[in-house]
């Protein structure tokens, strides 16, 4: 719910760690905004909490529920963690920083591993690797319960996000394992960011701006928006070098938003809701083989081995030891094509 988050809420750590100024401004704006996505996420998390409290298993869920995929993968993952200390929907904070806190979805301690699992119901892809939000949860839990260090060797961060559509195919569960020492270094970064904010550091524009509630309200983005309106009408070769990075970041944010918005419109219209001026169509598809194994045998029989393209090295490895041997002997890794990193 708007206004209930701490100023340095862990859910926004990916933003305020780089721009502490945004924490103060976003905190004020959040009290003035009704965030529908946030409300939906709160509802889904409430369903997950209720399932844990009532001992509902992933196999007990009704597949027709709108939140079924996210709830299913969250419960199924938690069930696979096995015996241990399980907690859910628990607030954690850094003791010496009362304004830095958050509420994790699921926490488990077992087999010398601390696991933090976060459910994401949205379509904008979120990765587990170096995830600032999850590391903030883990770090706050460890510094608040230092005795846990004697029971763990590793910290595992996982994200259940079956609805992701903005980064190509992604597995419904994404994981990253690191050391407690790495997580504690992240706590130091939190302390540093909060101190910078307290000392009055100004806005620090960057890629994180596209997830900021204060976008367009702070000085940095207010100065940039007029340029964006002009720049999108320029030929690419005329974009000033000093503005290229910032422009790429903003346009990437718009592209992500467009993908997420399209996915939401499909969800609404397939559920029978009308969107004025928007119609639901189908994508163009190409012909496909009904049975690829039969086709491969037929083509090889008619034209020899050259008629069939070999499967990928990754697919060959999954076939077994002989496939792995063939990959080791014959696979190559060609050089990558140039790409822009910003």
The dihedral over CA atoms of 212, 217, 222, 226, expressed in degrees to the nearest 10, equals 90
Cα 215 to Cα 205: distance, rounded to the nearest angstrom = 10
- Whether 152 contacts 113, CB under 8 Å: yes
- 211 with 118, same domain: the answer is no
| pLDDT of the residue at 217 | 73
- Position 327 in a domain: no
Cα 278 to Cα 336: distance, rounded to the nearest angstrom = 39
| pLDDT of the residue at 1 | 37
Q: What is the mean pLDDT of residues 230-248?
A: 84
**Rounded (5°) CA angle 7-135-260:** 75
In percent, the amount of the chain with pLDDT more than 70 equals 90
Strands 154-160 and 97-110: unpaired
Give the end of a domain, one of 270, 292, 308.
270
Domain residues for the domain of 146 are 8-198
Q: What count of residues does the chain have?
A: 342
**For residue 87, what are the β-bridge partners?**
107
Task: Tell me the whole-structure pTM to 2 decimals.
Answer: 0.70
| pLDDT of the residue at 32 | 44
Please report the beta strands in 123-196, taking only residues with DSSP state E, as ranges in sequence order.
Answer: 154-160, 173-178
Write down the residue that tokens 């004697």 correspond to: 150
Better-predicted residue by pLDDT, 195 or 36 = 195
Exposure string of 109-133, with b = 16+ CB inside 10 Å and e = fewer, is beeebbbbbbbbbbbbbbebeebbb
- 37 with 163, same domain: the answer is yes
Of 33-37, 199-203, 204-208, the one with minimum mean pLDDT is 33-37
- Most distant pair of Cα atoms in the chain: their distance: 76
What digits encode the pLDDT tens for the residues 275-329? Answer: 999 999 988 889 999 998 999 999 999 999 888 899 999 999 999 999 999 999 9
- Position 177 in a domain: yes
Other residues' Cβ atoms within 10 Å of the Cβ of residue 142: 21
**Number of C-alpha atoms within 13 angstroms, CB side, residue 342?**
18
- 158 with 191, same domain: the answer is yes
What is the residue-averaged pLDDT of the chain?
Answer: 88
Q: What is the mean pLDDT of residues 32-55?
A: 76
Domain count, the chain: 2
55: left (phi over 0), alpha (psi -120 to 50) or beta: left
- Position 297 in a domain: no
Q: Is residue 259 pLDDT above 50, yes or no?
A: yes
Q: What is the mean pLDDT of residues 134-152?
A: 97
- 181 with 252, same domain: the answer is no
The pLDDT-based confidence of 244 (bands split at 50, 70, 90) is confident
Ordered DSSP codes for 248-302? HHHHHHHHHHHHHHHHHHHHHHHTT---TT------------S-HHHHHHHHHHH
| pLDDT of the residue at 31 | 47
The pLDDT-based confidence of 130 (bands split at 50, 70, 90) is very high
- 176 with 243, same domain: the answer is no
- 115 with 139, same domain: the answer is yes
In percent, the amount of the chain with pLDDT more than 90 equals 56
- 57 with 16, same domain: the answer is yes
CATH code of the domain in which 24 resides: 3.90.320
Give every CB contact of residue 76 below 8 A, 6+ residues apart in sequence: 58
Other residues' Cβ atoms within 10 Å of the Cβ of residue 180: 17
Give the end of a domain, one of 270, 300, 324.
270
Eight-class DSSP state of 179:
-
23's enclosing H/E stretch is helix 21-30
| pLDDT of the residue at 95 | 94
- Position 192 in a domain: yes
- 116 with 243, same domain: the answer is no
- Position 243 in a domain: yes
Write down the residue that tokens 């491969």 correspond to: 296
- 106 with 60, same domain: the answer is yes
Q: What is the CA radius of gyration of the chain?
A: 24
- Position 259 in a domain: yes
Of 113-127, 167-181, 227-241, 250-264, the one with minimum mean pLDDT is 250-264
Q: Is residue 38 pLDDT above 90, yes or no?
A: no
| pLDDT of the residue at 231 | 81
- 59 with 178, same domain: the answer is yes
- Position 36 in a domain: yes
Q: What is the mean pLDDT of residues 193-205?
A: 90
Cα 103 to Cα 42: distance, rounded to the nearest angstrom = 11
- 26 with 167, same domain: the answer is yes
Q: What is the mean pLDDT of residues 207-224?
A: 73
Q: Is residue 111 pLDDT above 60, yes or no?
A: yes
Better-predicted residue by pLDDT, 190 or 210 = 190
- 87 with 234, same domain: the answer is no
- Position 3 in a domain: no
Cα 26 to Cα 252: distance, rounded to the nearest angstrom = 21
Cα 63 to Cα 54: distance, rounded to the nearest angstrom = 18
| pLDDT of the residue at 29 | 63
Give the end of a domain, one of 178, 198, 218.
198
């Amino acid at each position: 719910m708007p206004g209930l988050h701490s100023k340095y809420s862990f859910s926004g750590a990916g933003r305020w760690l780089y721009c502490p100024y945004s924490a103060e401004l976003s905190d004020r704006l959040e009290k003035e905004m009704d965030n529908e996505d946030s409300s939906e996420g709160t509802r889904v998390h409430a369903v997950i909490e209720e399932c844990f409290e009532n001992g509902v298993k992933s196999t007990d869920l009704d597949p027709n529920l709108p939140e079924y995929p996210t709830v299913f993968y969250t419960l199924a993952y938690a069930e696979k963690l096995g015996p241990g200390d399980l907690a859910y929907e628990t607030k954690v904070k850094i003791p010496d920083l009362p304004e830095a806190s958050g509420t994790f979805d699921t926490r488990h301690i077992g087999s010398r591993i601390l696991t933090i699992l976060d459910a994401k119901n949205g379509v904008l892809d979120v990765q587990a690797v170096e995830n600032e939000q999850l590391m903030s949860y883990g770090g706050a839990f460890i510094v608040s319960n230092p005795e846990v260090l004697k029971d763990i060797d590793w910290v595992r961060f996982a994200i259940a996000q079956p609805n992701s559509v903005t980064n190509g195919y992604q597995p419904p569960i994404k994981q990253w394992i690191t050391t407690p020492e790495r997580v504690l270094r992240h706590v130091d970064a939190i302390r540093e960011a909060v101190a910078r904010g307290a000392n009055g550091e100004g806005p620090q524009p960057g890629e994180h701006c596209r997830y900021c509630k204060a976008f367009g309200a702070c000085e940095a983005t207010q100065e940039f928006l007029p340029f964006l309106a002009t720049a999108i009408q320029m030929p690419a070769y005329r974009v000033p070098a000093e503005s290229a990075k910032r422009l790429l970041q903003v346009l990437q944010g718009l592209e992500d938003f467009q993908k997420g918005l399209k996915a939401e419109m499909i969800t609404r219209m397939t559920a029978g809701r009308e969107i004025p001026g928007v119609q639901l169509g189908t994508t163009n598809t190409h012909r496909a083989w009904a049975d690829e194994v039969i086709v491969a045998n037929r083509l090889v029989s008619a034209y020899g081995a050259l008629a069939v393209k070999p499967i990928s090295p990754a697919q060959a490895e999954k076939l077994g030891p002989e496939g792995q041997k063939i990959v080791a002997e014959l696979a190559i890794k060609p050089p990558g094509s140039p790409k822009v990193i910003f």
